Amino acid sequence: MTTSTKLLINERYIALVGVLNRELVILERLVFKLTQAEMLTRAGESRFLANIFDEIDSVRDDLGALEVARSMLVGDVTAALGLANDTLTLSQLIAYAPDLAVEPLEGLLRRMAEAMEEVAELKEMGSRAVMERLDQIERAMDRVEPGVFGQAGYDQGGFVTAPVTTSSRFDLNV
């Protein structure tokens, strides 16, 4: 292997560490946003969820762009090493890394795996929170009595009929 090839490989590994570090930062931002969404859902503050979901989409777009950059760097490294591009995982690629890059790469991959596990847990917690909130809403809707708010019905022609006149606990004239 020539000196220029070794330099190229070292540069690509350094760039790969940078891309993985940036990817980890964005994954941690995703964890934060998912935590916010779950907390807002549990608190019943659904009016802010649209903003959080927009931010989550932005984070996902950033992750997609970084995945492309990472893939290109892995392709450059494997080509410089004379290896097939689609046969190595990042973990396997560490075996070919220069000594100075091994520890940072291993640490980043471990932390990224932990962040992905946390994302999966938060996704599950968020789903449960949404289902619990929907159950609460459904129970509240079941407690609403017909005619409580002077609601009128509709006849077959679509015309408004007189409001239901049954007394309820909200009727002030009882």
pTM of the complete model: 0.71
Q: What contacts 24+ positions apart, CB below 8 Å, involve 5-13?
A: 5/80, 8/76, 8/80, 9/77, 9/80, 9/81, 9/96, 9/98, 10/98, 10/101, 12/73, 12/76, 12/77, 12/80, 13/77, 13/97, 13/98, 13/101, 13/105
Report if residue 94 sits inside a domain.
Answer: yes
Report if residue 129 sits inside a domain.
Answer: yes
Report if residue 169 sits inside a domain.
Answer: no
> The CATH number of the domain where 59 resides is what?
1.20.58
In order along its 174 residues, the chain shows pLDDT tens digits of 788 888 888 888 899 999 999 999 999 999 999 898 888 888 888 788 888 889 989 999 999 999 999 988 888 888 888 887 667 788 888 888 888 889 999 999 999 999 999 999 988 887 887 788 777 777 777 776 555 554 555 555 555 555 555 555 545 554
Q: Which domain holds residue 42?
A: 3-143
